[in-house]
Amino acid sequence: MPGFEVIGREEFEQVQEVFQDGGGILFRHSFDHLRNEVYKVRDFEDAFAQRMEVRHALAVTSGTAALRVALAGLEIGSGDEVITQSFTFVATVEAIIEARAIPVVVDVDDTLNMDSEALEEAITDRTKAVIVVHMLGVPARMDEIKRICRDRGILLIEDTAWGCGGRFSGKPLGTIGDVGTFSFDFAKTMTTGEGGMVVTNDTHVDDMARAWHDHGHENNPELPRWEDSRHGSGFNYRMTELQGAVGLAQLEKLDGVIAAQRKNKAKLMSALDGLSGLTWRTIPDGAEETADALIFFVEDNYSALRCRQLLLEEGIGTKILPEAITWHFAGTWDHMPELVSARSGDLASRFTRSAELLGRSVALPVNVLMDEGMPERAYRALIPELR
Ligand SMILES: Cc1ncc(COP(=O)(O)O)c(C=O)c1O
């Protein structure tokens, strides 16, 4: 699971530097004469771009903000259709609605990520972009999805909130499409408490996103900030220096976190392999997952709920599936008028394939610091249901 497990002295020292050497300047811009060259957000952006092998990285206040800023950077707005997948956090659709665009949601397949056939069927003349999501650490079928977007002239955004540190065909997740977004909330592989990042290789998109996330400020080096140049409207999604400081320390730990998760996931998988009543989530060819969770399918929803109960009795929790489905499956989002009206009020029966797969899925969190006996305990807990 996440970076919070390894928070320690390094994060503390980074934050301390902001106060000791940096004069306690918590704003990412200006105050140059008071901060002794301490610019944590700027350094975090540079280090993140280097780690992700991408030209530009823009730090923002959350993964939700990162999605909204990405849409602004790509100049997506009123009347544009944006296609995303039925299994994601509600934030992906919220960002589309906030951009005054039209959310179009499609089914997932047995990777529990976007079904590329469903994507092709949903494309219309008004489709401007696709937001593909690497849910729970497993890359989507990026070869197929990228090909469809390229052939149809559609922009591709990767919601990499759960995929930080994963790769597809050797490329870091988030850098395969036009723009990638990341979340550093407290449950993610890297955390800054709250926070996010927008990455792209397109300098114009980065310029647009950077200005939009800062009220339109272009941070023109020729001008003081209060006389800054601007070309368009914007909003405020600026990251603070404290988040930037924590992010620098967490980024240093990312590779170690992923390596530990992969090792622990393999142990968990081998312990559960003896159970005959489960099948594993499909991992696409070319995918290098972050191993944030281990997901398996059981016979039906009744069995998934029973697995959760048996695991809980052993002191082991599940992650999103099956218990938090209402925040992560669009078929349940009847609180969103923008989705309900587009589906003539009938959300529940719209995503039958996704509902069938998600309803019988169980996700086990994979910790960085996993208790050695946990795989065996999980196995024993599940025997009465899945033997
Ligand atoms: C797929 C996905 N996108 C976006 C977000 C939003 O990130 P944040 O919590 O940083 O706003 C999340 C958060 O869980 C997520 O899972």
pLDDT, residue 82, reads 97
Provide the CATH number for the domain formed by 3-251 in this structure. 3.40.640.10
Residues of the chain with CATH 3.40.640.10: 3-251
Name every residue whose Cβ is closer than 8 Å to that of residue 110 and which is 6 or more positions away in sequence.
281, 282, 297, 357
| Ligand 1 atom with least separation from CA of 65 | 11
Query: What average pLDDT does the segment 94-100 reach?
Result: 97
Pocket probe mutation, ligand 1, options 183, 186, 250, max atoms within 8 Å of Cβ: 183
The CATH class, in words, for 255-386 is alpha beta
Residues of the chain with CATH 3.90.1150.10: 255-386
Phi, psi for residue 128 in degrees, rounded to 5: -105, -35
Least confident of 27-31, 297-301, 323-327: 323-327
Distance CA 152, CA 128 (A): 10
CA of 181 to the centre of ligand 1 (A): 9
CA of 68 to the centre of ligand 1 (A): 12
Name every residue whose Cβ is closer than 8 Å to that of residue 47 and which is 6 or more positions away in sequence.
248, 251
Active-site annotation holder among 188, 253, 265, 319: 188
SS3 295: strand
Whether 188 is a known active-site residue: answer yes
Query: What average pLDDT does the segment 138-164 reach?
Result: 98
pLDDT, residue 324, reads 81
Does residue 96 carry a pLDDT above 70? yes
Distance CA 268, CA 377 (A): 10
Query: What average pLDDT does the segment 146-150 reach?
Result: 98
pLDDT digits (tens, 9 = 90+) for 236-278: 999 999 999 999 999 999 999 999 999 999 999 999 998 999 9
85 lines ligand 1 (CB under 6 A): no
SS3 236: strand
Instruction: Band the pLDDT of 171: cuts 50, 70, 90.
Output: very high
pLDDT, residue 2, reads 77
Whether a cis peptide bond, with omega within 30° of 0, leads into 322 is yes
CA of 88 to the centre of ligand 1 (A): 8
CA of 35 to the centre of ligand 1 (A): 32
Instruction: Band the pLDDT of 373: cuts 50, 70, 90.
Output: very high
Q: How is the beta sheet containing 167-168 ordered, strand by strand? A: 171-172, 167-168, 287-288
Angle at 258 between CA 257 and CA 260, to 5 degrees: 65
Query: Tokens 């909330």, residue?
Result: 185
Pocket probe mutation, ligand 1, options 84, 86, 89, 181, max atoms within 8 Å of Cβ: 89
Interior/surface letters 90-111, b for 16+ CB within 10 angstroms, e for the rest: bbbbbbbbbbebbbbbbbbbeb
Does residue 345 carry a pLDDT above 90? no
Query: What average pLDDT does the segment 198-224 reach?
Result: 97
What is the average pLDDT score of the chain?
96
Does residue 21 carry a pLDDT above 70? yes
CA of 91 to the centre of ligand 1 (A): 6
pLDDT digits (tens, 9 = 90+) for 301-327: 999 999 999 999 999 999 999 988 899
Pocket probe mutation, ligand 1, options 64, 112, 191, max atoms within 8 Å of Cβ: 64
Is the torsion defined by CA of 363, 366, 370, 372 positive or negative?
Answer: positive
196 lines ligand 1 (CB under 6 A): yes
Does residue 1 carry a pLDDT above 70? no
pLDDT digits (tens, 9 = 90+) for 58-68: 999 999 999 99
Query: What average pLDDT does the segment 74-95 reach?
Result: 97
